[in-house]
Amino acid sequence: MLLSKVVEMTYQVCVRCVMDTTDAQIEFDGQGVCNHCRTFETETRKYWFPDQEGARRLGDALARIRREGRGKDYDCILGLSGGVDSSYLALKVAEWGLRPLVVHVDAGWNTELAVANIENVVKHCGFDLHTHVVDWEEMRDLHVAYLKAGIANQDVPQDHVFFASMYHFATKSGIRCILSGGNLATESIFPASWHGPAMDAISLRAIHRLYGERPLRTYNTVGFFDYYIWYPFVKKMRTVRPLNFMPYNKDQAITELSAACGWRPYGRKHGESVFTKLFQNYYLPVKFGYDKRRPHYSSLIVSGQMTREQALQKLDEPLYDPRELEIDITYFCKKLRITRAQFDTYLKAPNRRYEDFPNWGSRHRLLKKVQALVQRVSGRGLRVYS
């Protein structure tokens, strides 16, 4: 199947970005501008500093990291996936003279190019690398459980263990700062109706209890209390996103990475993972009608890195070459030890939502109310990420 367009003709599209009504919660004003664009201008920009203010804030953050890391082997942990964002951040961290322990979580889906890019970046920067290899039998069982659940959040098994492993390792190593390549310049727009939070361990365990076949003995998880209370306020850990405090342009980052250490692009966002590639470019569009290029391109539009016309042209390009698609599906099924017929059955089964399973939604809403009350009383914002 060739996926060049995702039912664009039957959906209303924002006149500023390219988000459309495949997002069930999207709203348009009288001029046809969507709520994602308006939120970026009224709220998101408050946390995005590609200017002198960002340089000042970044300087303060770096000074704090160095101060807290005195006398330790490492002053921070840098999560490295091999993607452009985390790889570029590694270059900057080396320039800043920080002493990170680079942590890579191998969940079994790395492409050969991703492995080469990680090695090239670490070698160029002179960093120590710790690779946490997730038990494949547990990972496979969780992946299949999510396929059986029929929800859009198929990337949760990978995403959760990535972040959970870094938190666990940071605590064990006595390191209080985790550096993340996440950024608002390229990831500011994301429809909440498409997915639930990847860190929701209640949802993860509920799905595994229903559909899993083996216990998760070594798979790292982070509970609600740990994520929102224990790590940030008791252990005083912080996840810092330095790319939010500088002018970050993805195309320029790729050029700089290629020149510095021979880093090679993947041709698509998150192409470093075979799973994520198939999930985003086939599973989501076919089963749910979600084209994740839309929020990605929309983020680039509102941050000034792409025009709407360029985005519309790229959306006309096919999501997959047919031959490449068949190769990836065959590899996917073989690795998960499922048949092609089972894979097709999972695609055709009734769609389920994040809300259809036990989750931490009610706890999160209560926490937000408490947070808002504390902020009103103290006059200070409470943020886990900076």
Give 88-100 pLDDT, tens digit per residue. 999 999 999 999 9
Can you give the pLDDT at residue 10?
67
> Is the pTM above the cut of 0.85?
yes
Can you give the pLDDT at residue 2?
43
Query: Strands 238-240 and 76-79, how do they pair?
Result: unpaired
Q: Which CATH number describes the domain made up of 37-372?
A: 3.40.50.620
Question: Residue range 356-373: average pLDDT?
Answer: 88
**pLDDT tens track for 258-288:** 999 999 998 766 567 899 999 999 999 999 9
Q: Enumerate the H helices of the chain as residue ranges.
A: 35-42, 52-68, 84-96, 112-125, 136-149, 156-173, 184-187, 201-211, 224-225, 250-261, 274-278, 293-302, 308-315, 322-336, 340-348, 361-378
Q: Exposed/middle/buried for 383, CB within 10 Å: 0-12, 13-18, 19+?
A: exposed
Can you give the pLDDT at residue 11?
83
